[in-house]
Structure 1
């Protein structure tokens, strides 16, 4: 579906981003892989079996919280058909339980993640206005951007659902709709994918409790989410705009 498409991936060194890159390359897309840490990104791409010398792959450093750098980067782009923002910036205190979160940390994490996502979305819009060619933006939200947390799944574990995460992921959904309505052009599509929990070697107690809230799958594999991203980038979703695809095996029912 994506042969000859040129797709920009932000956060390509992460758990999701590296596998998205590998999947798009397998489909024949030209991937521009970006991350704040290029060495780590290339290491993780190699772990996914990506040929780092492929003519279809371009790797470059990009700090989404550096506004002049991001604007300069987008100014150099041409021929790009779409973008996926898989980035997940946060500070060292991220993940504290609700009553332990300070206002300073809450504000900083919203700025790092939501602020950088706003800048990325904005510059995708600027790019589209300049190039006047079809463009598909895919934002990665979460099931916890759609529904309230089910805190019972964290019982008897050291885990919690960070309040910053809920605020950020819900706001991303509305920002995506805002951008779609603001540009008001069917040539520019901004959509979101909201996965349920993704397996990343969490404690067994949590995995069992989470699975009871689904229809049987439990935590998702990243491969379970990639199909929706590919669809939104493809011509099959040509008139899908401002929407959110939930992939959670019934967790939100």
Structure 2
């Protein structure tokens, strides 16, 4: 098959949770540009609808639905709406997170809230979306983790800034998600569902100049990620071009941790 056909996502229905966020919008755009029908799912439906409309103006087939993955009934409602509107699901990009903690010494109540959404809720939405894919004969799951799920924090990046108190739930959740990917790869193998993970490094978001200086001098690529860097990887893992990639965690950090 021609490589352009292998990478073509026409006819595929794709759900991107947290699709209205920073990385989420880039992921949605890339998958839409490859021909996919993309659903943005987020807690704030109005915000999701605005993002979807902006992409439709560009000619992309993007839609918005509401979900709070920390509430089981909301996950089931999303599942029902996807089936009603599209009849199937081919790809799930598991990207939504909550960030209630504000550093190491923050309350255990906030840690527990993070786990409610980022652990219990995440497993819940993964299982329910995989049920739809199973009914359709299979599909692809792409978990979005972070390089912080693989390594401890480099506190020298924050020297000379007001940053530098990274919360523990971020590392706990992302590290667990990487190994959950491997678990699901084996559990879902007989259902023809591939499961992979992407662990990005820092995304440029107008961070303080000193942070950018500290961080970028360590990166062989010389910069943070931009909004296009994740697109091709998402299309690869979502498409038939990635059909033999399964159970992987792909570090996307410009060579920082080489």
What TM-score results when the alignment is normalised by the length of structure 2? 0.88
CA contact (8 A) 1:75 1:127 kept: no
| SS of 1:41 mapped into structure 2 | helix
1:209 to 207, 214, 218: 214
- Superposed CA offset, 1:90-121 (max 9, x none): 22xx232x2x2222222221222222221121
Q: Which runs of 5+ in 2 are unaligned?
A: 1-7
Is the aligned partner of 1:151 residue 2:160?
no
User: Which runs of at least 4 in structure 1 moved beyond 3 Å after TM superposition?
Assistant: 52-55
What TM-score results when the alignment is normalised by the length of structure 1? 0.90
Q: Which runs of 5+ in 1 are unaligned?
A: none
Name the structure 1 match of 2:4.
none
**What is the aligned-residue RMSD (CA, Å)?**
2.0
How many residues align? The count is 246
Alpha-carbon separation, structure 2, partners of 1:55 and 1:26: 7
Alpha-carbon separation, structure 2, partners of 1:187 and 1:220: 32
Alpha-carbon separation, structure 1, partners of 2:215 and 2:240: 35
Is the aligned partner of 1:227 residue 2:196?
no
Which aligned pairs between 1:65-80 and structure 2 lie closer than 5 A? 65-76=70-81, 77=83, 78-80=87-89
Alpha-carbon separation, structure 2, partners of 1:110 and 1:199: 27
Alpha-carbon separation, structure 1, partners of 2:99 and 2:120: 11
1:173 to 162, 174, 178: 178
| SS of 1:224 mapped into structure 2 | coil
- Superposed CA offset, 1:72-98 (max 9, x none): 32245232211112212222xx232x2
Q: Which range is displaced more, 26-35 or 49-58?
A: 49-58
- Superposed CA offset, 1:204-247 (max 9, x none): 11111011221033211121112111110010111211111111
Name the structure 1 match of 2:132.
127
Alpha-carbon separation, structure 1, partners of 2:58 and 2:225: 31
Name the structure 1 match of 2:95.
86
1:6 to 9, 13, 34: 13
